[in-house]
Amino acid sequence: MDTIFEQAVKGDYAIDIPKNFDINQIFDCGQCFRFNRSESCDNTYNGIAFSKKLTITQKDGKVIFHNTSKEEFEKVWHTFFDLDTNYADVIGSFSDDRVLAEASAFSSGIRILRQDSWEALCSFIISQNNNIPRIKGIIEHMSEKYGKPIESESGIDGYSFPTPKALCDAGESGLFALKTGFRAKYIYDAASKVESGEINLSEIDKMKLEDALPALEAIKGVGPKVAACTLLFGFAKHDAFPIDVWVKRILSSYYSDGASHHFSEKNAGIAQQYLFYYERCKNNIFI
């Protein structure tokens, strides 16, 4: 029932592979939790973003957006895959740093997805002190229970990520029932503050990084790392620089001066993602 053709067929939309585009790196580098490698088709991922189901294949010089119109590609996926950013230029700007240059070369197919800001906020709250399989499981169950079904001729393709209101209505107990553990009260606080307008995500979108970080950190359970991830992956603020255990390890082992002047620049977040992916692959952590 889940069979799809790897080649473009009627109803699909195909483009030439953009520079610096590798779906395996894009979806396995840990930035996004709702896309999964297809078990039946090579170089194919299935996922949901912005209340739409996408099956995507990268093959024979093409990227195929299955069952997708040109209009939907231009309206949703062009932006989602950040196709207007020139990653070769970004990588070029890292060439003076030996470690970063090596990590960039290794990870050159990564693009920072422009995900929905609310979904990114929730997802990275859930990610704290947690592992990827469980994070994905919680998000899927949360969507099934509190999201809306995404319908097609073949039935229900999946569920959209729940709105802030839906998670408010679920209540802390409803969220705890999803096995979110101590994060339930954090997710509830985020949902309440966004739903009430105390936190305004479109205002945060307009803010400079230095203002946006503390604005998000007003939410319980949102610290510097979750705030930076939210801004990098949910607001496309490429200067946000999340420091997790892996990046911390790189910083302490290769930048013994402690200072990380390279990482306060405008594309520090992209640098972070290259370093993160590079370090995890070197340590055989397959996401």
Coil, strand or helix: which one is 90? helix
CA atoms of 127 and 180, how far apart (whole Å): 10
CA atoms within 13 A on the CB side of 52: 17
Angle between the N-to-C axes of helices 132-146 and 164-175, in degrees from 0 to 180, rounded to the nearest 10 = 110
CA atoms of 84 and 2, how far apart (whole Å): 32
| 285 binding DNA? (CB under 7 A) | yes
| 254 binding DNA? (CB under 7 A) | no
| 180 binding DNA? (CB under 7 A) | yes
| 210 binding DNA? (CB under 7 A) | no
Please report, as residue ranges, which positions from 103 to 142 form the binding site for DNA (by CB under 7 A): 127-134, 137
What is the smallest separation between the CB atom of 66 and DNA, expressed in angstroms? 25
Of 222, 236, 250, 268, the one binding DNA (CB under 7 A) is: 222
Of 221, 236, 238, 274, the one binding DNA (CB under 7 A) is: 221
| 187 binding DNA? (CB under 7 A) | no
| 231 binding DNA? (CB under 7 A) | no
What is the smallest separation between the CB atom of 248 and DNA, expressed in angstroms? 8
Q: Which active-site residues does the annotation give?
A: 225
| 272 binding DNA? (CB under 7 A) | yes
Q: How many helices (H) and strands (E) does the chain have?
A: 14, 7
Angle at 125 (CA atoms; ends 285, 119), nearest 5 degrees: 95
| 3 binding DNA? (CB under 7 A) | no
Cα–Cα distances in angstroms (integers) from residue 78 to residues 51, 82, 111, 227, 270, in the given order: 15, 6, 12, 25, 18
The one-character DSSP state at 261 is G
Task: Take residue 194 and report the two structure tokens written for it.
Answer: 């966004």
What is the smallest separation between the CB atom of 68 and DNA, expressed in angstroms? 26
Q: Is the distance from CB of 64 to CB of 7 less than 8 angstroms?
A: yes
Count of positions on this chain that bind DNA (CB under 7 A):
37
What is the smallest separation between the CB atom of 95 and DNA, expressed in angstroms? 22
Please report, as residue ranges, which positions from 5 to 34 form the binding site for DNA (by CB under 7 A): 29-31
Tally of CB atoms within 10 A around 124: 26
1-34 in b/e form (b: 16+ CB < 10 A) is eeebebebeeebbbbebeebbbbebbbbbbbbbb
What is the smallest separation between the CB atom of 244 and DNA, expressed in angstroms? 4
CA atoms of 156 and 138, how far apart (whole Å): 19
| 58 binding DNA? (CB under 7 A) | no
Task: Give the list of residues 6+ apart from residue 74 with CB closer than 8 angstroms, or none.
Answer: none
Q: What mask, x for binding DNA by CB under 7 A, covers residues 64 to 93?
A: ------------------------------
| 259 binding DNA? (CB under 7 A) | no
- Among 145-153, 193-201, 213-221, 255-263, which window interacts with DNA (CB under 7 A)? 213-221
| 154 binding DNA? (CB under 7 A) | no
| Footprint on this chain of DNA (rule: CB under 7 A) | 29-31, 127-134, 137, 176, 179-183, 217, 220-227, 229, 242, 244-247, 272-273, 276, 285
